[in-house]
Amino acid sequence: MKQLSEFKNEEGVIIVAKLLSPISRIVLKMKDAGKKPKGSAVEFLSQVLEDSPKDIMEIFAILSETPVEEYECNAASLLMDTIKLAADKEFMSLFGLQSQTPTSSGSASENTEDHQN
């Protein structure tokens, strides 16, 4: 699954056009229920998974560049996609939330090498 910022130019326009409907439905459901995005990105996405499962699956399909009708998931893939989406700064900012970057599993030597280059 790509982050929102990875879609450039015309591809970005197409992705945004596809994302507008499920994002709008999520926002409208929240507004109708008197809810506002709050808490961490993970807490927000957890609530969206419960309240709007079809919409969030559509978002995952779009960001995975998979036709919505062909997108399949299981608990493990949903968890991974949710973590990736929670780390997507641009996507989470659409809801007024900050992303949550997962902790790196790399070694300390890998991390210092990256900063030295």
Q: Domain boundaries in the chain?
A: 4-101
Region for 39 from its dihedrals, namely left if φ exceeds 0, alpha if ψ lies in -120 to 50, beta otherwise? left
Alpha helix segments (H runs only) across 33-117: 41-51, 53-63, 75-86, 89-93, 108-116
Q: pTM above 0.85? A: no
Q: End-to-end CA distance of the chain, in Å? A: 27
Tell me the pLDDT band of 34, cut-offs 50, 70 and 90.
Answer: confident
pLDDT in tens, 40-77: 888 999 999 999 999 999 999 999 999 999 999 999 99
DSSP state of 39: S
How far are the Cα atoms of 19, 41, 62 from residue 68, in angstroms, in the given order?
Answer: 11, 23, 7
Q: Report the candidate in 59, 67, 51 with the shortest Cα–Cα distance to residue 84.
A: 59
Instruction: Determine the pLDDT at residue 101.
Output: 58
